[in-house]
Amino acid sequence: MTSVRGALLETVGQPVVIADLELIEPRAGEVRVRMLASGVCHSDLHVRDGEWDRPTPIVMGHEGAGIVEVVGAGVTSPRVGELVALSWLIPCGVCRSCRRGHVWACPDSPSYRHVLLDGTAPFGRAGIPVRAYCAISTMAEAVVVPAAAAIPLPDGTDPAVAALIGCCVTTGVGAVLKTAAVPAGASVAVIGLGGVGLSCVMGAVIAGASRIVAIDRVEAKLEAARAVGATDTILAGDDAASTIEALRDLTDGGPDFVFEAIGRTDTAELAIAALPLGGTAVLVGMTPLGARAAFEVYPFVDGSRRILGSNYGFAEPAIDFPRYAAWTLDGRLPVERLIDRRIRLDDVEDAFAAMRRGDYTRQVIEFGP
């Protein structure tokens, strides 16, 4: 057993506490990672606020990077000392989605049970098992994860940037390049400019989009979007019709692709309503469970419009993480510009409060001295 501090959610809707936890030693096929950085993603906040049905007690966090400290029996990759980003979805390998190669859509992943492959919870507290969110729980000083979840990144990758590759970058860039396969010259709109939405903007730049319209209700987010390549911005108010009108004016009648990166039904409806003929709405934001949205069917069909759902940017982490990391190193993905607040583990509740207010683009917890 190793002793670590971690961000523990004992009851949904209650504050996360920083607790002393026991961490199991890595067994066959597992590795221990000493965490260097963990992003704070809105998905953590959904869990913390009880909008999704997740078991407790659980250690929070699913967007992180660290150094491999110990490898269990039979592990050939990663190696001790390597910088790894952690993948929050470890495919089961045998379900219908996995058999088709759609690993990002695996419903049987141990990540969704928040335990290791054999069902063991990696943490304990006073003898009570404590689960790890998405089987990686990046908001702890060290974690034990399946080796397949720890993806080595190129030398020189900034650990905070590596952490963001673990969720928001892969989710947003992948939604544009993989899920939607936006062609060069297309017009793109992104609604919601947190880490996920800004990553959609960066993906649209790489795709060669002709116009990238960034939309948020917070002015500072619009500036952040311009800094990573948005060509135009719209400050959204409560009136969806005026947002749509402004969007149509900027994009010759409506953007070819609209990415919803908030997780609200009204903005999902806005994304669909703004589509021109043949346009595609890509839903990336995650609503509370059970939420429903509506759209007018006739013009949707008549105009050959499309709606796509995008989980984890259709990630194949072992291929995509090093590729995205290489793009951060050659300047094509300016991920460091997303990080506007660096905090300590003890500040996690403050970070959640700031996220509710829309205060920062991406907050990163840094570990170590």
Ligand X SMILES: NC(=O)c1ccc[n+]([C@@H]2O[C@H](COP(=O)([O-])OP(=O)(O)OC[C@H]3O[C@@H](n4cnc5c(N)ncnc54)[C@H](O)[C@@H]3O)[C@@H](O)[C@H]2O)c1
The site for Zn ion (CB under 5 A) is made up of 41, 43, 91-92, 95, 98, 106, 108, 167
Cα distance between residue 186 and residue 80, in whole Å:
44
Number of neighbours of residue 3 by Cβ within 10 angstroms: 10
| Residue 358 contact among Zn ion, ligand X, none, beta carbon within 5 to 8 Å by kind | ligand X
Give 256 or 260: the residue with its C-beta nearer to Zn ion.
Answer: 260
Q: Smallest distance, Å, CB 41 to Zn ion?
A: 3
Q: Judge contact between 160 and 181, C-beta under 8 A.
A: no
Give 9 or 286: the residue with its C-beta nearer to ligand X.
Answer: 286
Cα distance between residue 203 and residue 182, in whole Å:
9
Candidates 132, 139, 196, 213: give the one binding ligand X (CB under 6 A).
196
Q: Smallest distance, Å, CB 115 to ligand X?
A: 20
Query: Residue 43 interacts with ligand X (CB under 6 A)?
Result: yes
| Residue 264 contact among ligand X, Zn ion, none, beta carbon within 5 to 8 Å by kind | ligand X
Q: Which two tokens stand for residue 220?
A: 């500072």
| Residue 106 contact among ligand X, Zn ion, none, beta carbon within 5 to 8 Å by kind | Zn ion
Number of neighbours of residue 191 by Cβ within 10 angstroms: 29
The one-letter amino acid code at 248 reads R
Query: Residue 38 interacts with ligand X (CB under 6 A)?
Result: no
Query: Residue 217 interacts with ligand X (CB under 6 A)?
Result: yes
| Residue 95 contact among ligand X, Zn ion, none, beta carbon within 5 to 8 Å by kind | Zn ion
Candidates 37, 67, 86, 193: give the one binding ligand X (CB under 6 A).
193
Cα distance between residue 141 and residue 69, in whole Å:
12
Query: Which residues in 213-227 are b (16+ Cβ under 10 Å) and which e?
Result: bbbbbbeebbebbee
Candidates 263, 282, 320, 351: give the one binding ligand X (CB under 6 A).
263
Binding segment for ligand X among 93-101, 215-223, 299-307, 330-338 (CB under 6 A)? 215-223
Cα distance between residue 62 and residue 296, in whole Å:
36
Cα distance between residue 272 and residue 300, in whole Å:
8
Phi-psi region for residue 274, left (φ > 0), alpha (ψ -120 to 50) or beta? alpha
Give 22 or 295: the residue with its C-beta nearer to ligand X.
Answer: 295
Task: List residues binding ligand X (CB under 6 A).
Answer: 41-43, 46, 167-168, 171, 191-197, 215-218, 221, 236, 261-264, 267, 284-286, 310-312, 355, 358
